[in-house]
Amino acid sequence: MGLLEGKVAIVTGAGRGIGRSHALALAREGAAVLVNDLGTSLTGAGADGGPAAVVAEEIAAAGGKAIADTGDIADWDGSKALVDRAVSEFGRLDILVNNAGITEYESIATERREGWKRVMDVNITGTAALMHWAAQYWAEQGPELGRAVINTSSPAGTNPPPGAISYVVSKAGVAALTMASAIELCHLGIRVNAVAPMARSRMSDAIPILDEAMKVPAEGLDRMDPGNISRLMLYLASPDCRFTGRIFGVDGDRIYLFESMSAETHVSNGGRAWEHGELARALAEVPQQDRAYMIAPSLHIRAGAPPADVLAAFDRIARGEPVEVWKPINIRS
């Protein structure tokens, strides 16, 4: 008997990459899976029902239970249909894996209204909408242990780099949504956690500078295999998980937990309002923060070089132009 025998799961963005890996992993452990994928491009354009259908057929061929779904999660009311369909087809819902996401490579100075809205609609509104409708269904059923929501944040959301502002903000929003909703939903027996994955995907394929880091090694652990993310997802979906409201980073076999938005430095003025000079002197004693942005395990942007140089490199990445593997360089925070 599988780890999740008799459970029912929804996985969004499940037609390719990490989402496909999640759907197959859940099915192998006995869960019935609604395989949702609108089949858009990386930036949300177009639609293609093929990827979802292929994954559902793959699960069925292996003896599992699955249905393909091409519903648009970016539509708040329309996303209800995914929950309704899972319940109608399989009789219940236990696990929601919010994996779908799109991106654009724009800075705050170059971002366009249409691109910003499209990324937010999918990455944050789509995640929140499905959680809303799943929570309503579970509230109607009453409290029951074993329910799980696994959201997808990103290393770009937990350690924001320049050059993809809408994606960064949306994924930081997913982390905050995860922490807040975990508190709101615990009384229903729902655990809400998020993963910030580093793995081979369409997004990594679109960034030439990551080509070397994403190569399959000749031997040893394939650190960028999407299956590494799915193993953690299965734990978070399983009865063995004892966490809620946590954000888990994944890089191969390395798993790390973020400690919310912790404040590491404190200054006070003994209960008196600050005068400008006093505040300036107190903060002068605080070390300046130099941010390190991880683009890949061996590729970092470090504090000190002109921001224009970094943004120019991201522009070349966005256009698909070759970029030399960077030595550690600096960008002042």
Confidence (pTM): 0.81
Q: What pLDDT sits at residue 330?
A: 34
Task: Please report, for the chain, the start and end positions of each structural domain, with discontinuous segments joined by +.
Answer: 8-258
Parallel, antiparallel, or unpaired: how do β-strands 147-152 and 190-198 relate?
Answer: parallel
Query: What is residue 203's predicted lDDT score, i.e. its pLDDT?
Result: 61
Q: Which of 105, 137, 167, 293 is catalytic?
A: 167
Q: What is the model's pLDDT at position 156?
A: 79
Catalytic residue among 21, 79, 153, 154: 154
Q: What pLDDT is recorded for position 155? A: 83
Per-block mean pLDDT, blocks of 10 residues, the chain (333 long):
95 95 98 90 56 96 97 94 98 97 89 95 97 98 96 87 89 96 95 89 57 69 83 95 93 84 82 92 80 45 50 56 43 32
Cα–Cα distance between 236 and 233 in angstroms, integer?
5
DSSP assignment string, 63-113: T--EEEE---TTSTTTTHHHHHHHHHHHS---EEEE---------TTT--H
CB 74 within 8 A of CB 41: no
Which residue in the list 7, 171, 201, 230 is annotated as catalytic?
Answer: 171
CA distance readout (Å), 48 to 7, 13, 72, 147, 156: 28, 12, 12, 30, 27
Class for the domain spanning 8-258:
alpha beta
What per-residue confidence (pLDDT) applies to 312? Answer: 61
Per-residue pLDDT at 251:
84
Q: Are 136 and 48 in contact (CB under 8 A)?
A: no
154 assigned to active site: yes
Report which of 30, 27, 29, 34 is spatially closest to residue 13, judged by C-alpha positions.
Answer: 34
12 phi/psi in degrees, rounded to 5: -95, 155
The secondary element (H helix, E strand) that includes residue 134 is helix 126-141
- Nearest to residue 312, comparing CAs of 292, 326, 328? 326
What is the rounded distance in angstroms from the CA atom of residue 66 to the CA atom of residue 201? 22
Contact call for residues 56 and 66 (beta carbons, < 8 A): yes
Task: Reply yes or no on whether 171 is catalytic.
Answer: yes
